[in-house]
Amino acid sequence: MKTIIRNETPADYRAVEELTRESFWNVYKPGADEHYYVHMMRSHPDFIPELAFVLESDGEIIGNIMYTKAWLEDENGERKEILSFGPLCVKPEYQRQKLGKLLIEHSFDVARKLGYDVNINFGNPGNYVSRGFVSCKKKHVSFVVPGNFPTALLVCELVPGVLGGKKWMYIPSTAADCCEDTAAVEAFDAAFPPKEKAWMPSQEEFYIYSHSSVVR
């Protein structure tokens, strides 16, 4: 299969939102809100359009990745601007073909050229440890309060050793806060073809790793 990776354009917006909805529907909860997040992210000041990419095959968008700014704050209160990607999507019938890996590697290469050297994500460790991500505890990155190391908080140094063993606090973008408005999410979703909301085992898996922490 021949593929190309290119920057997202406004003409791609609806296709990317449809892809995102399809990729995340019933994965983390009944239904999905990631497509609304994508829609709203583009107008948020933390969005980085230079790092919004689509993956095409025969003119069809089958994958995408998007980024926002985030921050690390050290013990002296000094902040370092970093990256956080997501959603990362691959059309369900094309998954397990290392296409997500292509999107991550391509966007990391561009991110380095833009001067970024750290990416932090919340996600299933099983999906990311093979891509260079490690537990936030190994890089001394806390969340909310010092010493809190969520299992799902994963760190990737784009430049090895850049965090230097210092203690850090992760400060995410507020871009995803839009999803707290459930009425707006439902209104936006109503413009898409109806899909059945259902419980899936992946939702319990997500709950477990997103509500647990590394303690040793």
**Structural domain total, the chain:** 1
Residue 93 in domain: yes
Q: What one-letter code names the amino acid at 32?
A: A
Query: What is the rounded distance in angstroms from the CA atom of residue 188 to the CA atom of residue 72?
Result: 33
Residue 185 in domain: no
| High-pLDDT (> 90) share of the chain, % | 96
What residues have CB less than 8 Å from 179, skipping those under 6 apart? Answer: 33, 36, 37, 185
DSSP H or E segment with residue 69: strand 60-74
What residues have CB less than 8 Å from 147, skipping those under 6 apart? Answer: none
Which CATH number is 203's domain given?
3.40.630.30
The first and second tokens of residue 130, run together, are 């093979």
| High-pLDDT (> 70) share of the chain, % | 100
Task: Name the nearest CA neighbour of 8 among 31, 38, 32.
Answer: 38
Query: What is the rounded distance in angstroms from the CA atom of residue 216 to the CA atom of residue 199?
Result: 33
Identify the pLDDT of residue 45. Answer: 98
pLDDT interval class at 1 (50, 70, 90)? confident
Query: What is the rounded distance in angstroms from the CA atom of residue 69 to the CA atom of residue 41?
Result: 11
The first and second tokens of residue 42, run together, are 């583009």
**Torsion angle of alpha carbons 20, 24, 30, 31, nearest 10°?**
10
Residue 131 in domain: yes
8 Å CB contact between 135 and 156? no
Identify the pLDDT of residue 89. Answer: 96
Residue 187 in domain: no
Residue 190 in domain: no
Confidence check: pLDDT of 208 > 90: yes
pLDDT tens track for 82-120: 999 999 999 999 999 999 999 999 999 999 999 999 999
Dihedral sign for Cα atoms in the order 92, 177, 70, 215: negative
Query: What value does the mean pLDDT take over residues 173-178?
Result: 98
Query: What is the rounded distance in angstroms from the CA atom of residue 160 to the CA atom of residue 76?
Result: 22
Confidence check: pLDDT of 216 > 80: no
Strands 60-74 and 4-7: unpaired
pLDDT tens track for 60-85: 999 999 999 999 999 999 999 999 99
H-type alpha helices, 78-210: 99-113, 125-128, 182-189, 201-210
8 Å CB contact between 34 and 84? no
Residue 99 in domain: yes
Query: What value does the mean pLDDT take over residues 193-211?
Result: 95
Stated length of the chain: 216
Residue 216 in domain: no
Range of the domain at 37: 4-173+196-210
pLDDT tens track for 119-162: 999 999 988 999 999 999 999 999 999 999 999 999 999 999 99
Residue 205 in domain: yes
The chain-wide mean pLDDT, for the chain, equals 96
Identify the pLDDT of residue 215. Answer: 83
pLDDT tens track for 4-24: 999 999 999 999 999 999 999
